[in-house]
Structure 1
Amino acid sequence: MAKYDQSYEEVLRIERDTLDSLLTTVDRDVLDRIVDLLCTVKPNSKKVITAGCGTSGMAAQKIAHTLSVVEVPAFFLSPANSIHGGLGAIQKGDVAVLFTKGGNTGEIVNYIPVCKEKGAVIIGVTEDETSILGKNCDILLKIAVEREPCPWKLIASGSIVAAIAVWDAIAFTVMRHNGFTKEQFYLTHPGGSVGDKLRAGK
């Protein structure tokens, strides 16, 4: 038995239970709307912009990368850079995916009026539908967890694992629906061991 087994098991069980709960707590109709929207991004020569602060920002970066891998053009727009001209990247018909657990993070709220003025679609990822983001987004993806596994139940960890898992489900559903092939995958990912495996299978 390892020295800190009790702590390891507690954290892992909480995060496992969080992922299990998504099967019943995430609105599948909302997921359908997001998948349908993302399937139009590349054909319409649009793009996805993700944004978040702190841990939410790390998740937003990962999600933008995953979308790009499956041929949904996406990038992470830093909240710090956004208010110094970066918001010019957002254009009509683009999709802005904004992450803030509480829904009121000032740096993320800054994106809202720009998206509204320019005609970009806002997907709000938050646990609070009554928040600023919850009330002002075009599509609300509510991801709420029963508890975070840290001692104070405050550090966003289980909730971020949940957000990434849901967006993996979205991205890979788009991939399947769009008929994304290994040949396309090799074109965008020729490097590393993944690229080696794809090359060997050609």
Structure 2
Amino acid sequence: MSDLHASATRTLKLESQAIAALVEQLDDNFDHACTLMLACRGRVVVTGMGKSGHIAGKVAATLASTGTPAFFVHPGEASHGDLGMVTRGDVVLALSNSGETGEVTALLPLLKRIGTPLVSMTGRPGSTLARHADAHINVAVEREACPLDLAPTSSTTAALAMGDALAVALLEARGFTAEDFALSHPGGSLGKRLLLRVSDLMHRGKRLPQVALGSPLRDALIEITRQGLGFTCVISPDGTLAGVYTDGDLRRTLDQHTDLSELCVDDVMTTPGLRVAPETLAAEAVRIMEDNRITALAVVDRNQRPVGALHMHDLLSSGVI
């Protein structure tokens, strides 16, 4: 094993041990911290200086994306005006491994004056920040992974893991769902799978391929070619969907018939034809297409009247698949 490999192995072991040790350090303060955040009418304001500040920023982002409104405030800027962002209805989560970081402890009198609850996360339960907090979460580590035991390594990893533990505990307590997550991630793949509906992607109006029941097959072929979606709806006199005629149906028609000129679309269409409702999730439409090995679907309303057409290309271009 090379020296570099050995160093990496030692670092990973020390940091994993630091995280494992947090389990034994959990106490009623963690529960109290969660209770304060669940009761918060405003936002969880996360703060920290230096490396702890970087961790605090990530913790704030994780909280915000999992159902606990939160944002990061730099403690140095807070003392010069940004503390105006904090209100009595908020909860402050302050990170400092030593619990004595000057820029953070300087906020204590101001927070006490406006009555904002304070949750601290430090490696020293007897520190100034821990003693003045409404709830203190102990993230002490035995040693840093840095061989000099100086650079924040194990301590920042422990704080990050505890921040995730807070976020997940709050997520579960709120009954936060995958769809809730998607609402805060509309640009991500999960958001697209859970938020996009067939109605958001379907072709409608003049772009809906359709021919009347009883039409010559020639008219159906012209409509398929004109719209370019690989199929056409076949409409009954009452306006409902009688069936569909697809590119696949055309291949079967050519196999079974030598003279197409006398055929009506009724003779060769697929009935009743697969269909979905406009409110169907786009991801569900993908599953239907894949299961049935088709590339397009008719979209019908509650009365089974065609209102749109959905093609696999629409799903691909939207990022659903």
TM-score by length of 2: 0.59
Cα distance in 2 for residues equivalent to 1:57 and 1:6: 30
Does the Cα contact within 8 Å between 2:43 and 2:91 map onto a contact in 1?
yes
Give the superposed CA RMSD.
1.7
Higher relative contact order (CA 8 A, sep 6+): 1
Cα distance in 1 for residues equivalent to 2:67 and 2:59: 13
1:80 corresponds to which residue?
Answer: 76
Deviations 1:122-178 (A, max 9, x none): 111112222211221111111100010111111111111111111211111111111
1:21 aligns with 2:21: yes
Q: How many pairs are equivalent?
A: 198
Identity %, equivalent residues: 36
Partner of 2:120: 124
Q: Which runs of 4+ in 1 moved over 4 A?
A: 196-202
CA distance in 1, matches of 2:3, 2:173: 47
Corresponding residue SS for 1:140: strand
Structure 1 unaligned blocks of 5 or more:
none
Matching residue's letter, 1:93: G
Q: Deviations over 1:44-86 (max 9, x none)?
A: 3x11111111110011001111110112111000123212210
Corresponding residue SS for 1:145: coil
SS of structure 1 residue aligned to 2:14: helix
- SS for the counterpart of 2:17 is helix
> Which residue of structure 1 lines up, in the alignment, with residue 174 of structure 2?
178
Query: Which of residues 32, 54, 57 in structure 2 aligns to 1:58?
Result: 54
Q: Which amino acid aligns with 1:5?
A: H
* CA distance in 1 between partners of 2:59 and 2:194 (Å): 22
Secondary structure at the residue paired with 1:147?
A: coil
Partner Cα distance (1:201, 1:38) in 2? 34
What letter is aligned with 1:141? Answer: I
User: What's the counterpart of residue 147 of structure 1?
Assistant: 143
Aligned residue for 1:81, secondary structure, equals helix
- The structure where helix makes up a greater share of residues is 1
Q: Which amino acid aligns with 1:61?
A: G
Question: Residues 67 and 174 of structure 2 are in contact (CA less than 8 Å); yes or no, is this contact kept in structure 1?
Answer: no
Residue 100 of structure 1 and its aligned partner are, at CA, apart by 0.9
| Cα distance in structure 2, aligned partners of 1:6 and 1:197 | 43
| Counterpart residue number, 1:7 | 7
Choose from 88, 91, 94 the match for 2:87. 91
2:109 paired residue number? 113
CA–CA distance in structure 2, aligned partners of residues 196 and 181 of structure 1: 15
- SS of the residue aligned with 1:124? strand
Specify which of 129, 153, 166 is matched with residue 157 of structure 1. Answer: 153
Tell me how far 1:17 sits from its aligned partner: 0.9
Partner letter of residue 56 of structure 2?
A: A
> Partner letter of residue 83 of structure 2?
L
- SS at 2:18's partner residue? helix
- Counterpart CA distance in 1 for 2:165 and 2:283 is 25
Q: d(CA) in 1 for partners of 2:89 and 2:192? A: 36
The 2-side partners of 1:165 and 1:201 are apart by: 33
Cα distance change, pair 146–116 in 1 and its aligned pair in 2 (3 A):
same
Q: Distance in 2 between matches of 1:105 and 1:73?
A: 25
Taking the aligned partners of 2:35 and 2:75, their CA distance within structure 1 comes to 27
Give 2:60's aligned amino acid: A
Aligned-partner SS, 2:186: coil
- TM normalised by structure 1 equals 0.91
